Amino acid sequence: MSEVFKVGLAGLGTVGTGVLRLLDEHQALLEARSGRRIEVRAVSARDRSRERGLDLSRYEWCDDPAALAQRDGLDAVIETIGGTDGPALDLARACLGRGRPLVTANKAMIAEHGFALAETAEASGTALLFEAAVCAGTPILQTLREGMVGNRIDRIEGILNGTSNYILSAMERQGEDFAEVLCEAQRLGYAEADPALDVGGGDAAHKLAILAALAFGVRPRFAEVEIEGIRDVRAADIMQADRLGYCVRLVAMADLETAPGGGSPRLLQRVRPCLLPAGHPLAAIDGPTNAVLVHGDYAGPILIQGAGAGSESTASAIVSDLVALARGEARPSFSIRAADLRPAECADSGAREARYYLRFVVADRPGVLAELAAAMRDARVSIQSLIQEGESAPDGGGPVESGTMIALVTHKAPARNVRDALVRLSGADSIVEPPLAMPILMD
């Protein structure tokens, strides 16, 4: 194979321009590795006149990205527009429907429409690849699809959002609360102007649903991911966790329970802040880094970590997919054919047992502790230790303006009992703000 591998690129933002730079800079290296010269022939974005720090005159310009699906002579199209629906989805459907391979970095689109798109690709004998959609250039999808293909995997855990991890790590280091650290993260470019998808857990949930499909061979429903973000975590919680030997991380976790008697397996998908013991492999993941811990039955636990965003890292993943296409090595999008992915029921998360860190801000008056203890007793949650009781948060932990902070650790209890205890307390006059509950993960 020596003919040029011709590519169309839709989207010339952070990721798209990174792809153009990488292809230019590593042209000879890529030609040697893929056996073909990879060339971008046509590009599309919204604003043709925008300065992008690149010479675009050598590429054909398409105002409409969907034109890249129709243009003659392209071997593949790269989509870096973004968005669950809209022009990205139109382009993906048009390319795959006519048998043109598509490479995308779009986790939202793959989490919501990935199975339908993969079925379209399979029906027309083409490839849909999206390594960049999960952890950017940290090659977790290839690891699952190829390196760990011989393993049964029944659990996967990860730190899948660099912005949240940056914020939690900075809160830990600086003893500052969420809002202050978020402003700093926005100033430094680690958080978007609208951080909702990152700090609310939605971005990690998109990636988790994709990972669950590849790891377990099932069709996760994105709507069934239980999502809780990091906005309610205080510096005081992080400090208390530290005193107990834990750190706080936004952990995305999925596991598959096999049903007795051969019924549909049950899938749990959850993104939430958790306490991790110091020895847990994810506890050491600091700053904007992403990491995924995969438990293979033969390979054992495998930890893969690296940059989870950024122009260069994301371009690296897109180009790895392009090289696979140029070599004729593309594998099924979800490791097995989309049509063969098994349906999975939603597992009963309420039955899962863990110890919990619970934090309350309560009115400073007699009898409040007894009220908390009674709610715990009635919900059958036993308290292992009361770890803080005072008129304010611990030193440097940020102020608790309107009440007293009480934090406690429970003995192991089913999640539904803990929820029940919080529901029992929800209308109480003594509770000044909604409580925070974080499970303690074991290493």
- In the complex, the residues that contact ligand NAP under the rule CB under 6 A are 11-16, 44-47, 50, 65, 80-82, 87, 105-107, 132, 136, 309-310, 314
- The residue (of 8 and 397) whose beta carbon lies closer to ligand NAP is 8
- CB of residue 412 to ligand NAP, shortest distance in Å: 37
- CB of residue 406 to ligand NAP, shortest distance in Å: 40
CA 324, 325, 328 angle in degrees (round to 5)? 90
**Does residue 6 carry a catalytic annotation?**
no
- The residue (of 80 and 410) whose beta carbon lies closer to ligand NAP is 80
- The residue (of 14 and 320) whose beta carbon lies closer to ligand NAP is 14
For residues 130 and 107, what is the distance between their CA atoms, to the nearest angstrom? Answer: 8
- The residue (of 164 and 417) whose beta carbon lies closer to ligand NAP is 164
Query: Which of 317, 320, 315 has its CA nearest to residue 34?
Result: 320
- CB of residue 372 to ligand NAP, shortest distance in Å: 42
Biggest alpha carbon distance in the chain? 81
For residues 55 and 41, what is the distance between their CA atoms, to the nearest angstrom? Answer: 13
- The residue (of 43 and 248) whose beta carbon lies closer to ligand NAP is 43
- CB of residue 55 to ligand NAP, shortest distance in Å: 16
- The residue (of 35 and 310) whose beta carbon lies closer to ligand NAP is 310
- CB of residue 116 to ligand NAP, shortest distance in Å: 17
Q: Which residue is nearest to ligand NAP (CB)?
A: 13
- CB of residue 50 to ligand NAP, shortest distance in Å: 5
- CB of residue 333 to ligand NAP, shortest distance in Å: 16
- The residue (of 161 and 410) whose beta carbon lies closer to ligand NAP is 161
From 6, 107, 207, 412, the catalytic residue: 207
Active centre residues (catalytic):
207
